[in-house]
Structure 1
Amino acid sequence: MSAVVLHVGQCGNQLGLEWWRLLTNTSNHRKKRCPFSSRSGDLAAVCVDTEPKVLRGASEFVKTGEFRASNIIEGKGGRGGNWAYGYHGGPGEGENGVLQRTMEAVRQEAERQDYYGGAILLHSLSGGTGSGLGSRLCEQIREEFPVGHILTVSVVPHQSGESPLQHYNTALSLAALHRSADGTLLFHNDHALSYCAGRPGRSSSRPQGSLSAMNTQLASHLAGLLLPVQSLTTHSGRSLGMEPWELIRSVCPFPSAKLLNTAQASSRQRSHWDSLVNGTLQNLPQLSPAGKPYSSRAVLAVARGDQDNTFGTSDVLQRLRHGHRCVHWNPFPVDHWTDPLNELDVSASSRLLTVCSNHSSVSGLLGRVVQRAGEMLDARAYLHWYQRYGAETEELQQALNTLSDIIQEYDSQ
């Protein structure tokens, strides 16, 4: 109806396919009203990677008629974990290049919608295709659809290291997203791994800490935030909650700060909402390394399984406000949406609370990226890998300057 979902690179496609599996398993009765499908009922997905391996997983959706085969975009050869190669493309890529074919698929998918509201981009910040091509696609979509929204789901690499280039790639990606996207949901691989490793697996086929379990956990966060909710349904029957852009309006009051944190807690019992709030606050950083308290510009709480309408009338909103140390200048910093049904677990007593916040602790991530990428830049490490594909030292320095400005923006709140 309004959203085109774009998976880019290995990570983006693995997470995206898990998202669609979850969505089709939990929302079949709402599918035709879902913002993630076209008028004909096809899922509005575009899958792109420069290597075909992960895209084979999309064949299950093509066979069932839920994905269009023309929306599966394969490249020839990877991008070497290099942002510059992903962003600028290889030599000789013309009208039939991955970028051009992907944009054509996005255009056609946008035309199939009742109206085009925007795009959701799923990708990694570290891989060459996800970071570089993802950044370029974000810019191209912004240029072609200037009034449409762009929400990115950006996966942060492990701190311990996935690639020697990950700090450069992350810096360049985040700087590009800052220019083009309206909101960026950050999901940390380290956080997802810790969560899955410390929690009993729901299925024996998905071991604790496995990549599949991590993708399932991240997809659950997305579903908690983006599935339609009853509390935003108007008298005409139109659900505003079916539009992902409502999330951006709630938690991004200013375009200069749009990096978003998520947390989730659930219970199969009729637990008090207070206990679920405490669960979402458990791992929220409270103090910077210098001892300065972190704070939130805005918070959105999505409560599913609120059959007795107790979420909005309890003191949980105040607890969220205090737990996030919401800024004083926002008179209404906590928004909340509710739905009587928890579609991720339809048992009668299950409850799910997903919290999205514009939290200043993101400055810790940005600071680490600036420090490590800056050290590499000073040593001129790996610069020839980027220069080979058209990215000069000045572009890297500009990206670090952009991240430093974002850090100052969050620290000033």
Structure 2
Amino acid sequence: MSAVWLHVGQCGNQIGEEWWQILTRENVPHAEADRYPFCSPDGKLSAICVDSEPKVVRKLQKQVKSGSFRKNNLIVGKRGRGNNWAYGYHGLHSANEKNLLERTMESLRKEVERRDCYCGTMLFHSLSGGTGAGLGSRLCEAIRDENSLGQILTVTVAPHQAGESPLQHYNSLLCLSWLQRHVDGVLLFQNDAVLRRTAALLGKKAPVSDMQPQVSLSAMNTYVASCLAGLFYPLKAFTTGSGISVGMEPWELLRSACPMPTMRFLHLAQACKRQEWGLSHHVKSDSEPLRWGTVFWDSLASSVVHSLPRESHAGQPHYSTSVLAVARSYQEDTFLLSRDSVLRKLKQAYHEAYPWNPFSLSCWTDSLNIVEPGCHSHLLTICANHGSSAELLQQVVARAEAMYETNAYLHWYWRYGCEEADFQQAFETLCSVADDYSRLGE
């Protein structure tokens, strides 16, 4: 029982809704012992849900199993933060509403005290909104100051490049720089990439048609949540002798995937296939399940690397400092038999930057696929510290800089306490990180 799960803003709580629905399913085998990393001793989820408006948090409370959340951990305000990082970071200048930051940190302290062993905080948020980006940045800073030994891992969603808000480039710039300074790892999801991946998955299941499958926001959030479940649902390898997980998966992930302190942005991809045996009269030999399992793992690896951005717009290949593969299947042995083939394929696709690093490619396995429990399925989740993060950072810097040079919308940031130094430091921080990623493989 090591983590506190913190959802901030509309996006953070919407992903949280899908995440907790997966974790609180009734039909998951041996789930009771595996729920300890997510629950307090009294059975309540160790989760804090924060938003400056009540609508999304109230919906989450209704959709997830009744009684799962602690009432005092559902923290809402009465007015939004105007999609403004400065407004979210500095908060209201009014005594009429108790500070969201104060209330959240108070709940966090109590959750930390309920932990048998507190190791860190998982924070879910977006880069574009005032609450998710601004308050999320302030919370990362406050949590780091108050619990300096605890780690912070964020689930961060970047907005569509086509535009969600006129202030999204400023918000992303400032939030990303705060994350680089105050957190240990960033699981970075880009809405455009999530949309493409979700559409591809829906397209496979939908009837053959010339029409592009419609992708709902809920479907995109479900994909993000399933990637997280593939990574963080307890594995037998990390359980104690009693069979109860202590929830070390997020922190073992950081040790595996963030070997370089200056590069903390992680790319996730996932593929899942259900194994079908064909006609009912077909008779399987003893070796056939293993043979079919090997075929499935090779197919899943190909599916994952197919969606991977291989090179920059300038034609330069992307490299990785580290790659972690998590394989879940009711036939765990089938992955072990095809392990070398799968890892070789991943190594070629992700372009290992440091061949001298003996731990640059790791794999975890488990017999329970939490995403599709109770069926013959294979799930492969890949987390990589990948150079494609530089593309996003460079785009954010370029677009924010173009607006900054014309003084566009800056008065909204000065109005709520932001200063020029905040922007200058943010530009320098992200340019430095992007350069580090761009130099991988040299």
Tell me which of 198, 201, 211 is aligned to 1:199. 201
Provide the C-alpha distance between the structure 1 equivalents of 2:109 and 2:28, rounded to a whole number of angstroms: 26
1:377–1:187 Cα change, 3 Å? same
Please show how residues 12-411 of structure 1 align to structure 2 within 5 Å: 12-25=12-25, 27=28, 29-34=30-35, 35-60=37-62, 64-93=66-95, 96-200=98-202, 208-233=214-239, 235=241, 237=243, 239=245, 242-269=248-275, 270=293, 271-305=295-329, 307-314=331-338, 315-327=341-353, 328-411=355-438
Residues 91/47 of structure 1: CA separation in 2 closer, same or farther (3 Å cut):
same
Name the CA shift for 1:311/1:244 in 2 (closer, same or farther; >3 Å). same
Indicate conservation of the 8 Å contact 2:187/2:265, yes or no. yes
* C-alpha displacement of 1:242: 4.5
CA 1:325–1:396 in 2, change beyond 3 Å: closer, same or farther?
same
Q: Deviations over 1:288-325 (max 9, x none)?
A: 22222111100010000062423234221122111111
Amino acid at match of 1:119: T
Change (3 A) 1:8 1:407: same
Q: Compute the displacement of 1:159 (Å).
A: 0.5
- 3-state SS of 1:130 partner: helix
Corresponding letter in the other structure for 1:275: S
Separation in structure 1 between the aligned mates of residue 63 and residue 110 of structure 2, nearest angstrom: 19
Name the counterpart of 1:3.
3
Measure the CA separation in 1 of the matches of 2:78 and 2:302: 48
How far apart, CA to CA, are the structure 2 residues paired with 1:359 and 1:27? 33
Q: TM-score, normalised by structure 2?
A: 0.88
Give, in angstroms, the shift of residue 5 of structure 1.
0.6
Aligned to 2:210: none
- Determine if contact 1:294/1:360 at 8 Å carries over to the other structure: yes
- Alpha carbon RMSD of aligned pairs, Å? 2.1
Deviations 1:268-305 (A, max 9, x none): 01443111111110111111222221111000100000
d(CA) in 2 for partners of 1:332, 1:5: 28
My pick for the range that moved more, 115-124 or 241-250, is 241-250
Q: Give, in angstroms, the shift of residue 18 of structure 1.
A: 1.1
Q: Residues 9 and 384 (structure 1 numbering): CA distance in 2 closer, same or farther, change over 3 Å?
A: same
Q: Which has the larger radius of gyration?
A: 2
Structure 1: where are the runs of 5+ without partners?
A: none
Q: Deviations over 1:5-37 (max 9, x none)?
A: 111001111111110011111657424543111
Matched-pair contact (CA < 8 Å) for 1:51–1:76 = yes
Report the AA paired with residue 30 of structure 1: A
CA distance in 2, matches of 1:45, 1:392: 33
Percent identical: 54
Regions of 4+ moved over 6 Å = none
Deviations 1:113-142 (A, max 9, x none): 112111100000000000000000011011
Q: Say if 1:28 and 1:175 are closer, same or farther in 2 by CA, change over 3 A.
A: farther
Q: Within 2, Cα distance between the matches of 1:45 and 1:166?
A: 27
Q: Which 5+ residue runs of structure 2 have no aligned equivalent?
A: 207-212, 276-292
Contact 1:366/1:403, CA 8 A, preserved across alignment = yes
User: Contact 2:322 / 2:360 at 8 angstroms: preserved in 1?
Assistant: yes
- Give the SS at the match of 1:174: helix
CA distance in 2, matches of 1:252, 1:361: 15
Task: Give secondary structure in 1 for the equivalent of 2:422.
Answer: helix
> Structure 1: how far apart are the matches of 2:306 and 2:67?
42
Task: Note if contact 1:268-1:347 (Cα within 8 Å) is conserved in structure 2.
Answer: no
Mapped partners of 2:370, 2:64: distance in 1: 25
* SS state at 1:260 partner: strand
The alignment partner of 1:79 has SS state of: coil
- Structure 2: distance between partners of 1:235 and 1:197: 42
